[in-house]
Amino acid sequence: RMDGPRSDVGRWRGGPLQPSATPSPEPEPEPEPDRGSRSRGGRGRSFWARCCGCCSCRNAADDDWGREPSGSRDRGSSSRGGRPDSRGGGVNAAGDGTIREGMLVVTGVDLLSSRSDQNRREHHTDEFEYEELIVRRGQPFHLVLFLSRPYESSDRIALELQIGNNPEVGKGTHVIIPVGKGNSGGWKAQVTKASGQTLNLRVHSPASAIIGKFQFTVRTRTEAGEFQLPFDPRNEIYILFNPWCPEDIVYVDHEDWRQEYVLNESGRIYYGTEAQIGERTWNYGQFDHGVLDACLYILDRRGMPYGGRGDPVSVSRVISAMVNSLDDNGVLIGNWSGDYSRGTNPSAWVGSVEILLSYLRTGYSVPYGQCWVFAGVTTTVLRCLGLATRTVTNFNSAHDTDTSLTMDIYFDENMKPLEHLNRDSVWNFHVWNDCWMKRPDLPSGFDGWQVVDATPQETSSGIFCCGPCSVESVKNGLVYMKYDTPFIFAEVNSDKVYWQRQDDGSFKIVYVEEKAIGTLIVTKAVRSHMREDITHIYKHPEGSDAERKAVEMAAAHGSKPNVYDSRDSAEDVAMQVEAQDAVMGQDLTVSVVLTNRSSSRRTVKLHLYLSVTFYTGVTGSIFKESKKEVVLAAGSSDSVVMPVAYKEYRPHLVDQGAMLLNVSGHVKESGQVLAKQHTFRVRTPDLSLTLLGAAVVGQECEVQIVFRNPLPITLTNVVFRLEGSGLQRPKILNVGDIGGNETVTLRQTFVPVRPGPRQLIASDSPQLSQVHGVIQVDVAPASGGRGFLHAGGDSYSGETIPMTSRGEA
């Protein structure tokens, strides 16, 4: 951890909530402020003098509101989940506490916060499983005040919102809104209807408002005196970013994009290799009960100043730092060791909800995550806060460790890899996020999609965070643009440079592979379960003048600016590597196809080295190799085949079931050097889910899960995970042992709590990675209307599920 002052927006010292070395078991409560000392924003002037110029001339006797009664800011949860009594409740007079005749007393407030009310529907927050008011900034909302007498034109009313430990008007954390007048911060409140002792108001927040959970109260002033409604936790208001508001810098001008990237609660995450793409459904669950509080708690735990929480650039950068646990005891502990005995195998997670609720409940980082888990949780958090966000997979993603902006691979004199020198790595795939916003901190032309990467790989300004980085700057090699553009550029568009050790111990470039990095960049398509290729927004077409210009411009700013000066150009023998598509437990073959594009005979000495690899590019020892000499007639092709039996690769397999084939060769006649790395994987089976009967809100429904063990060995202590937003809170099912090649069937019940199309997702762990299944469940409303059920509570765990059947395949 850096001890000096920080200048980047990813960290702050001296913020309102600095975490301790050991996380606190619960979110830290905010201390009660001293209402009697609340003069710092107004230099001793009264509330009305500060908020309303016409009220500044008053008698000295009326000059102060006095101290807020004890307990009026109680943040307890006694009435969470219900609407406040519209006409009852305690009242509080300023000063001596006496209610005098003629005073305007607010006897109750209705924030119209129910999920079926106008506010929640108009603000696209009706899916949140909360009863509090949740609105988006830059858009009006409505509320009703219940008064002790009819409202008169001479009455003065002000609404007040506060957030943070020490709310200040100048920082936007203490908002005072005189009814009928605007304030300097862009807030407005107007009377829309006055009927008897009821007053209807329309409140408008600025498009730059701070996001978070605000406390709300009402103050009144008449000739008879002043009154303040006590703070009530039932009247807290959540304010979010607003991609529907053209004035908000997170505005998205496509309704289908907003439906997909803000409101969709599930998505697809892609993994594997470019030639063998796997996909899994992820339950983002951004509207599940408790998730919004968890997202705001993340900002609190980092100590982010409340006054900066209206800036999506700052918020997204903090989230990229806090979703991983390094530096700051953030949400997830990364683990790529293969040993997950002290936590959850990253492949077993099927969604973000259980992870975020555990962090909120305990304050401790959750074990364990890898890139797709970090990205899935980041999508949940940013969508929950109102930022249009998508999960992106980059195949053949480079990890540049020396800022050369090239991937450097070193070989000995015989072209055998020198793994102790290969610090750079190429991940089979890497998953990060795009979020949409304007970038007022950059020159024009860099608005739109911004990369945010929460996987801890390299530090940024001394801390493990990455982004937001304009995709446009990545595309054009403008690596001097903030934030972290050099690292992201290298991930998608660097060249792979092969260095061979010479007789004198020096290294020489023998081959540059220009199309090996960022070969395919994908995300889930809008309003579809199909895959969308978005490579073109990250890079110009491979080999085009614009793409080569971007690469060379970026490399010129790297640590090896002259790397391209010593390239050899004789390349008349082409090489292609192919791997058979195989399921875990089967034998497979890999082949190398050589093509002689010259008009003369060519003799190629070929070396093949096969090892297992983690998806991060870290390789194990070589477990099989082959050497061949191939003679190619002019214009002809030939192939070299390497068979690989299950018994050969089984003892060496690691997570993801991936293997790396290093191929190198030397052309005798021309001196051409051939080099290529090819990654492939053995697939794992899917879980089969079948819905048994119709799904209706509030009624029990049953799903059947079928799984076949593809291996000839027993899988022990098998655990299934089951969840789906609006359907099933995260649930752990202990299945037990499954014999070799055995098929098991089990049934599980759930009770839907929200209507509409939903995704129910299941996964299997711990001995097979990436085993999962999904089914779409169309939930009908409960009889009598649309209806929601309360879905509070934590996940189930440790339930042992009896099998309905077992059998050999």
Which segments are annotated as binding site for Ca(2+)? 493, 495, 542, 547
Task: Choose the catalytic residue: 453, 484, 686, 764.
Answer: 453
Q: How far apart are CA 138 and CA 115, in angstroms?
A: 20
Residue 514: exposed, middle, or buried by beta-carbon count in 10 A (0-12, 13-18, 19+)?
middle
Asked if 373 and 530 count as a contact pair (C-beta separation under 8 A), the reply is: no
Of the CA atoms within 13 Å of residue 302, those in its CB half-sphere come to: 32
Asked if 509 and 497 count as a contact pair (C-beta separation under 8 A), the reply is: yes
Residue among 353, 402, 393 at smallest CA distance from 370 = 393
- Write the single-letter amino acid at 500: Q
Torsion sign over Cα 352, 395, 719, 754: positive
Cβ-proximal residues to 328 (8 Å cutoff; 6+ apart), any chain? 11, 19, 301, 302, 321, 322, 463
**430 part of the active site:** yes
Chain centroid offset of residue 329 CA: 17
Would you tell me how many other CB atoms lie within 10 Å of the CB of residue 231? 20
Of the CA atoms within 13 Å of residue 642, those in its CB half-sphere come to: 26
Q: What angle do CA 265, 269, 272 make, to 5 degrees?
A: 170
Report CA Rg, the chain: 31
Would you tell me how many other CB atoms lie within 10 Å of the CB of residue 540? 19
**371 part of the active site:** yes
Asked if 743 and 706 count as a contact pair (C-beta separation under 8 A), the reply is: yes
Hey, which residues does 768 pair with through a beta bridge? none
Pairing of strands 673-683, 582-583: parallel
Task: Choose the catalytic residue: 174, 289, 430, 607.
Answer: 430
Annotated binding site: 493, 495, 542, 547
Task: Choose the catalytic residue: 52, 295, 371, 384.
Answer: 371
Residue among 336, 507, 339 at smallest CA distance from 425 = 336
Question: Three-state secondary structure along 335-352?
Answer: CCCCCCCCCCCHHHCCEC
Strand ranges across the sheet with 531-533: 469-470, 448-452, 425-437, 389-399, 520-524, 531-533
Asked if 314 and 211 count as a contact pair (C-beta separation under 8 A), the reply is: no
**123 part of the active site:** no
Containing H/E element for 118? Answer: helix 118-122
Task: Kindly list the catalytic residues.
Answer: 371, 430, 453
